[in-house]
Structure 1
Amino acid sequence: MKKIGLILLLLLPISGFTQKQFEVFFDFNKDFPNQSSILALNEWIANNKDIEITKLLGFCDSIDTRNYNKHLAERRIESVRELLEKSGLKFNINLEKIAFGKDFKQSKIQAENRRVTIFYAEIQAKITESEFSKQLKNSKAGETIKLPNIYFFNNSARIVPKSETILYDLLCAMEENPKLKIEIQGHICCQTETDKNDVSTARARAIYNYLLRNKIDRKRMRFKGFGVSRPIHKIPERNETEADENRRVEILILEN
């Protein structure tokens, strides 16, 4: 019984939603999709506007060297990414790009091995405007708004998946308010010294890059890390609540 339970647990989607996939194929030694795949990709894009790309995996056939095929797979991933970006599809902030080259279980049909697999998830429609979106919409130049419910892995700029909802709120607010210009400000907690690894800047940059990948004009935003120079509570913090409040990302309104 325990084994069955473990298997069922492993089969459950980790992030709370089921990822789907679509495959794009390439001719021998080419890094741009073949004509039939381009037609299929265009049709797929037309029917899947409300999705977010989460992962791109690149594969090659067994011909040529391992190193050559890995680089070819990387170029194939990039060509597909550019096509998806030009189509206006959204990308997950933690988009994964993995080039397998020929290091995978190959099909006997070589044409099936020359591919890029696109993983994607449907974006849930926004039912009501969030409090954060309302704040941004009604904000004035000079105001600073905390980006709520944004979490990062420890000492890293990699964003925890449960933060994706608020990032999407920020993206929608930027799309719906074309005059809005912002500075993304990163802050960390718990350190009595300077931010040696510049984590605060890296975290602010991660959010900036997410917006940039999703077609927000770079002229409308900038980012900056403040390390521990602007704590809400005195460092060292007395408890985890104070640490959480110091460890934050804020949005400074430049224009609205």
Structure 2
Amino acid sequence: MFLRKVTLLIAFLPFLGLCQEQGGPWSVYFENNSYTITAAQKQFIDSIQKHSLQRTDSIVLKGYASSPADATYNLKLSEKRANSVKQQFKDYTTIIANGFGELEGDEDENRRVDIMTWPVYQENLVFKSSTASPTKLPEKINDYTKINIGEKIELKGIHFYPGRDDIRNDSKDALSELLAFLKENNNITFRLLGHVCCGKTHDPGRDGFNNRTGKNNLSEARAKRIYNYLLDNGIDKKRMSARGYAYRYPTGKGDKYDRRVEIEIISR
């Protein structure tokens, strides 16, 4: 009986230690290919909520998967994990609940969802696990604070696969940054403007061919893909619209600059 009690205490110590943290970060770990919340994980999350959170806290969730499987599968798995944990925070505002795909290696710690409050996330801390030392994130990808009404800027850091409207996995940080800005400034209305390169000057309105849809709608579809991401993550559709401008507004700087999605602020 004594041995059993000691074993249970040792098993529960990580939960006790993590729940002393205020604002996180914490990590929920999953079995291989799993994204369903277990009773033990629910107990852990409940303990975080009871000991370390207030109802006014806003939550950031970042899901990951280990790398041996296909990258597309791992991205979807990481998203399912983040959404499963999100369901446990129904009484809180969730700012970000995204899957960030795979981390290199098959270690248990790569199959996880990181949990933190919005103030901690704002401090630009990144971590590999709940015990890792935090380090600083890179500079902002886009500075939205300086955009005036009527101005447009390119959404840097959001990349698409060639000839498609599918967003690449390395766009997650830029998308999260855009989402966070729009959540913080919920009075802003805006347009998303898609552009393509390599068009014909005599027919600038002809859009690029989209290999996914088989239609000439590439600039519109790319703007709409970002629109749908924002909509799925809580941005009201009344605040935004998406348009494709094909080759009507080339930059004159070359193909890589013409191939872009911009944001235009309508009101703030």
- TM-score by length of structure 1 reads 0.55
Q: 1:93 to 1:231 in 2, by over 3 A?
A: farther
Shift of 1:227: 2.3
Percent identity reads: 25
Distance 1:185 1:54 in 2: 30
Q: Deviations over 1:91-144 (max 9, x none)?
A: 337679xxxxxxxxxxxxxxxxxxxx75458857347766622223xx11x222
Structure 2 residue 52 is matched with structure 1 residue 40? no
- Tell me which of 147, 168, 178 is aligned to 2:186: 178
1:53 aligns with 2:63: yes
| Higher relative contact order (CA closer than 8 Å, sequence separation 6+) | 1
Q: Report the CA distance shift for 1:94/1:220 in structure 2 as closer, same or farther (over 3 A).
A: farther
**Structure 2: which amino acid aligns with 1:171?**
L
The 5 A counterparts of 1:1-256 are 22-23=29-30, 37-43=41-47, 49-54=59-64, 80=84, 83=87, 86=90, 87=92, 88=94, 90-92=96-98, 119-120=113-114, 125-126=123-124, 132-136=143-147, 139-140=148-149, 142-192=150-200, 193-197=206-210, 198-233=217-252, 242-256=254-268
Query: Residue by residue, what CA displacement relative to the aligned partner does 1:161-211 show, whole Å, maximum 9, x if unpaired?
Result: 443333233222212222111111111112445334322222212222332
For 1:160, the aligned partner's letter is: R
Deviation of the 1:152 alpha carbon: 1.5
- Aligned pair in 2 of structure 1 residues 77, 173: CA closer, same or farther (>3 Å)? closer
The Cα of 1:37 is off from its aligned counterpart by: 4.8
Q: 1:50 to 1:230 in 2, by over 3 A?
A: same
d(CA) in 2 for partners of 1:201 and 1:221?
14
**Equivalent residue of 1:185, what SS?**
strand
3-state SS in 1 of match to 2:153: strand
Instruction: Give how far 1:146 is off.
Output: 1.8
Structure 2, unpaired ranges of 5+: 1-26, 67-76, 103-110, 125-135, 201-205, 211-216
Residue by residue over 1:48-71, the C-alpha shift from the partner in whole angstroms, topping out at 9 and shown as x without a partner, is 944423569xxxxxxxxxxxxxxx
Under a length normalisation based on structure 2, what TM-score does the superposition of the two structures give? 0.52
Q: SS at the partner of 2:62?
A: strand
What letter corresponds to residue 256 of structure 2 in structure 1? D
Is contact 1:182–1:221 with CA below 8 Å preserved after alignment? Answer: yes
Structure 1 residues 77 and 150 mapped into 2: Cα distance closer, same or farther (>3 Å)? closer
Q: Which amino acid letter does the alignment assign opposite residue 161 of structure 2?
A: F
How many pairs were matched up? 185
> Is contact 2:158–2:174 with CA below 8 Å preserved after alignment?
yes
Letter in 2 for 1:169: E
Letter in 1 for 2:146: Q
- Indicate if the aligned counterparts of 2:223 and 2:261 stay in contact, CA closer than 8 A: yes
Paired amino acid for 2:261: V
SS in structure 2 at match of 1:190: coil
1:232 maps to amino acid: T
